[in-house]
Amino acid sequence: MVLSWKANLPEDLQAKIDKVDKMIAPRLAEIDEQVLHNQQRVLELFRKHRVGEEDLVPSTGYGYDDIGRDKLEAIYADYFKTDDALVRSQFSSATHAIAVGLFSMLRPGDTLYYLTGTPYDTIQEVIGLAGNKPGNMKEWGINFKATELLENGEVNFEQAKKDLQDPKIKVIAIQRSLGYAVRASFTMEKIKQMLKFIKEVRPDVNIFVDNCYGEFSECEEPTFYGADLIAGSLFKNAGAGIVKGGAFLVGRKDLIEGAGSRLNVPGAGKGEGATWGYLRDMYQGFFMAAHTTGQAIKGMIFTAALCEEMGMNVAPKWNDPRTDIVQTVTFGKPDPMVKFCGAIQHYSPLNSFVDPIPYHQDGYEDDVVMASGSFTEGSTIELSSDGPLRPPYRLYIQGGLSYEHVKIAISHAVEETFYKK
């Protein structure tokens, strides 16, 4: 006898879940095939680079001659089809890696240009558009320009062509995922068009891609088509929920060398950086990344389908192309947004007994409500949700170490928000 996990849910909700399951089954099968493709690539790289037990032994102190770290970075470079990589626990976050990458390519008087509109809150603080914190780009005399997106969320290529005539622009940045914007994340198909456009209009500049939430969500990456440097987090997709912290940069050899000098010091560069007890997690996380990212994407497809079945506005829709692990649900007002977020917290493995309360978080202009009962603080490959308390009151749901957890949590979140008084 098989017991149903849905037994205690309202019958109407059970029927909706059954309907959704049948509807999304072919799409989930497509994700399984994508995972197999990416997993095979990773496995072949582990075999090619002859990863052995000795590569999991960490270094201490300066971190000189860390063969495990160097081999891991070679595997990252191979996977992303780049010259070199910087995969380090010393990065406190992907924002840190992004800042290191950008600062290493820019000098006072240069201009950083964003093709995809003004970036999200934490990067705005790095640039100096918000917060006015010490050490930002503005304080260092680095300028900023952006071409805002069209009303439909697409790149304004016509205006961008004009804006890019500024000879002071030295780095052009693309933000793959949506951040807290009201737009779709950019698929690889669209990023390919952006890269082609930039190389035609400004072949002399470096192209940087904020790739957060995007790794392994498709079969291709921006570096396959000419991005010079990209950044990602180790406690998002690439770490599979196993890595406890850190981030990475992959790209052209001279740019990685510059980033290594910026992260550490000129001279030592990327040759320093002890791995302490992290190497085993980093290797295992990268090996599991394709599978775990696939689990999260399948969970977000279910989330989109069920929430839309409940009459909510969702993006992307369950059958839309996916390029990251983020799902948005728009509530239109704050109360149901906070309630739904709270329900996700209540069905998390850690801190299920607490209620999320909107609060001010460093790096963000508005109060933020956040549910994250995760094993690693801030890990968004684990199921979490967050969003700023501002119109249109949009909740950003992401991650999930297992499809089963996402399915259970979202079903109960729908129950608590729409079926309970």
- 195 and 145 housed in the same domain: yes
- Residue 3 domain-assigned (yes or no): no
Residue ending a domain, choose from 248, 277, 306: 277
Q: What is the mean pLDDT of residues 34-57?
A: 98
**CATH number for the domain harbouring residue 313:** 3.90.1150.60
Tokens of 172: 């052009």
Q: Is residue 223 within 8 Å of residue 81, measured between CB atoms? A: yes
The answer, yes or no, to whether residue 2 has pLDDT greater than 70, is no
> For 51-70, what is each residue's pLDDT tens digit?
999 999 999 999 999 999 99
Distance of alpha carbon 53 from alpha carbon 284, whole angstroms:
12
- 17 and 67 housed in the same domain: no
Residue ending a domain, choose from 216, 243, 277: 277
The answer, yes or no, to whether residue 415 has pLDDT greater than 60, is yes
- Residue 51 domain-assigned (yes or no): no
Strand order in the sheet with 384-388: 313-315, 326-330, 394-398, 384-388, 368-371
Q: State how many domains the chain has.
A: 2
- 205 and 292 housed in the same domain: no
- Residue 49 domain-assigned (yes or no): no
- 406 and 335 housed in the same domain: yes
- 267 and 354 housed in the same domain: no
pLDDT range class, residue 262, cuts 50, 70, 90: very high
Tokens of 183: 């737009």
Q: What is the pLDDT of residue 378?
A: 87
- 266 and 302 housed in the same domain: no
- Residue 4 domain-assigned (yes or no): no
State the amino acid at position 149 in one-letter form.
L
If you search the block for the tokens 């961008």, which residue do you land on? 160
The answer, yes or no, to whether residue 43 has pLDDT greater than 90, is yes
> For 315-371, what is each residue's pLDDT tens digit?
999 999 999 999 999 999 999 999 999 999 999 999 999 999 999 877 667 889 999
Tokens of 61: 């102190």
- 62 and 205 housed in the same domain: yes
The answer, yes or no, to whether residue 180 has pLDDT greater than 90, is no
Distance of alpha carbon 219 from alpha carbon 75, whole angstroms:
16
Instruction: Provide the angle, in degrees to the nearest 10, between the axes of the packed helices 11-48 and 67-79.
Output: 110
Which residues have C-beta within 8 Å of that of residue 376, sequence separation ≥ 6?
235, 241, 243, 244, 245, 382
- Residue 291 domain-assigned (yes or no): yes
> For 275-316, what is each residue's pLDDT tens digit?
999 999 999 999 999 999 999 999 999 999 999 999 999 999
- 174 and 217 housed in the same domain: yes
More confident residue, 99 or 420: 99
- 96 and 239 housed in the same domain: yes
- 18 and 83 housed in the same domain: no
- Residue 46 domain-assigned (yes or no): no
Q: What is the DSSP string of 114-157?
A: ETTSS--HHHHHHHTSSS--TT-TTTTT-EEEE-PPPTTS---H
- 308 and 234 housed in the same domain: no
Q: Is residue 10 within 8 Å of residue 419, measured between CB atoms? A: yes
Please state, rounded to an integer, the average pLDDT across all residues of the chain: 96
Domain extent for 394: 11-40+287-419
